[in-house]
Amino acid sequence: MRTIVAGNWKMNTDASSATALVDALVGKMGGQPGNVEVVIAPPFPFITQAVERAKGSGIIVAAQDCHQAEKGAFTGEVSATMLKSLGVGACIVGHSERRQYFGESDALIGEKVAALLAADIIPIFCCGERKEERESGRHFDVVTEQLKGALGKFTNAQLERIVIAYEPVWAIGTGLTASAQQAQDMHAHIRSLLHTHGASVAGAVPILYGGSCNPSNAEELFSQPDVNGGLIGGASLVAEQFMDLLRIAGKVKH
């Protein structure tokens, strides 16, 4: 199973600090564990320079979202084919901030996944329950609905090209993390849903944990058998912390 550590920069950095962060990461990539795929998702305006500066380093540059259509009259939007033409290799979709602030539904997110697959970009599909959903014991059902609603129509060959990130909404940017057991339980649940499509799907799709993951809690989280790496927000903005996360993932997933 692949191990992936992905940094979601969200709406942070500017032209010069984004460049500086990419350069710092590229400079530290030598000697990193070769068994971990490294992904960074800068804001749209800084993607071109990130792709150029990361060339040859092994870092995959991702986007944080895309539009579901290939082109057309959608002012302000960015298509998967545009991203492909820049050399973007992956794209986050369905992040809880997109669901919450931009009203994205599972059906819409499924269309975005389809557009990314058609453009040959790896979709990093986010799912996860809100605080009240966990407190009422509905968290497994919520994640099941998100996966079925967005990914239910894909073929096995398509599903095998997707990456899933489990991000409990109550843990994102809050300093709270799921316990290693809570993460493992949900990842095992997601894995069992993938298994209903066959062992090859369950064996091919990495499931990343996200939500206040940092160098002090990553070892325990990444050690769980169904946790295949992390989707990192805040800690991905500090080069040293992000590199520490790569080292930890490389160590526990050798």
Cα–Cα distance measured from residue 4 to residue 160, given in angstroms and rounded to the nearest whole number: 15
Asked if 212 is part of the footprint of ligand PGA (rule: CB under 6 A), the reply reads: yes
Contacts of 131 (CB under 8 A, 6+ apart): 169, 170
Catalytic position from the list 95, 139, 187, 189? 95
Cα–Cα distance measured from residue 64 to residue 66, given in angstroms and rounded to the nearest whole number: 7
- Per the DSSP assignment, residues forming a β-bridge with 229 are 4
| Segment contacting ligand PGA by CB under 6 A, of 17-25, 54-62, 67-75, 230-238 | 230-238
| Segment contacting ligand PGA by CB under 6 A, of 76-84, 103-111, 194-202, 205-213 | 205-213
Q: Which amino acid is at 44?
A: F
Query: How many degrees, rounded to 5, is the angle at CA 13 between CA 161 and CA 102?
Result: 60
How is residue 226 annotated by DSSP?
T
Asked if 102 is part of the footprint of ligand PGA (rule: CB under 6 A), the reply reads: no
Among 210, 239, 242, 243, binds ligand PGA (CB under 6 A): 210
Q: Which is nearer to ligand PGA, 65 or 202 (CB)?
A: 65
Cα–Cα distance measured from residue 90 to residue 100, given in angstroms and rounded to the nearest whole number: 22
Q: Which is nearer to ligand PGA, 143 or 202 (CB)?
A: 143
Q: Which is nearer to ligand PGA, 202 or 217 (CB)?
A: 217
Asked if 213 is part of the footprint of ligand PGA (rule: CB under 6 A), the reply reads: yes
Asked if 211 is part of the footprint of ligand PGA (rule: CB under 6 A), the reply reads: yes
Q: Tell me which residue of 44, 198, 66, 48 sits closest to 125, measured CA to CA.
A: 66
Cα–Cα distance measured from residue 103 to residue 246, given in angstroms and rounded to the nearest whole number: 33
| Segment contacting ligand PGA by CB under 6 A, of 23-31, 65-73, 146-154, 166-174 | 166-174
Instruction: Summarize as ranges the residues that interact with ligand PGA (CB under 6 A).
Output: 8, 167, 172-173, 210-213, 231-234
Q: Which residues are catalytic?
A: 95, 167
